[in-house]
Amino acid sequence: MNQTFPQGGTPRADLGVGLFVLLLGLLALYAAWAIPDSPLYAQVGAKAVPYLVGAIMVVLGIGLSASALRGGWSQDIEEAMEAPPTNWRALGLLGAGLLVQIALIDWLGFVIAATIQYVLVCSAFGSRKPLRDLAIGIVVTLGAYLAFSRLLGVNIGAGVLEGIL
């Protein structure tokens, strides 16, 4: 196991990462198991997503560990390719989207705040069609709002659209 990669990484470090991810997945599964059952949920309860995340992390941890035992995956990326410069505009738009969501969700509601956030994130990822992004954002956020409010009975805040929705 003392094999060293030509680029400087070691299988031991890769195995450590794989085992750490596996351990986090097992911890997530244990934490999900410890969540008390609620009689309010007939089908999918509060344990579903933590169980799913824990299971995915366990599978990833096993895969990373197996890959490490076969020789590892790490390499010196800086030698293979030079990192592109930081895109400050994209980071600023992503940050603005988060701030818009935080600042406006109570006042304007989920649908409007999340739609604005969606348009900003699309722009950060290079979209140059804000009207299309706005239309898609409205459909997606309205669908999410209706799914939460009508199907799950969870109020995520309609804001100024309270009377309409």
- Give tens-digit pLDDT for 51-68: 999 999 999 999 999 988
Helix orientation angle between 110-124 and 88-108, rounded to the nearest 10 degrees: 170
Looking at residue 93, its pLDDT comes to: 97
Angle at alpha carbon of residue 24, lines to 20 and 30, rounded to 5°: 145
Looking at residue 57, its pLDDT comes to: 97
Looking at residue 104, its pLDDT comes to: 94
Looking at residue 80, its pLDDT comes to: 57
Q: Find which of 37-41, 81-85, 129-133, 149-153 is predicted with most confidence, using mean pLDDT.
A: 129-133
Phi, psi of 92 (to 5 degrees): -65, -40
Average pLDDT, the chain: 85
* pTM exceeds 0.85 for this model: no
Instruction: Give alpha helix (H) positions in 37-129.
Output: 48-69, 77-80, 88-108, 110-124
Looking at residue 47, its pLDDT comes to: 79
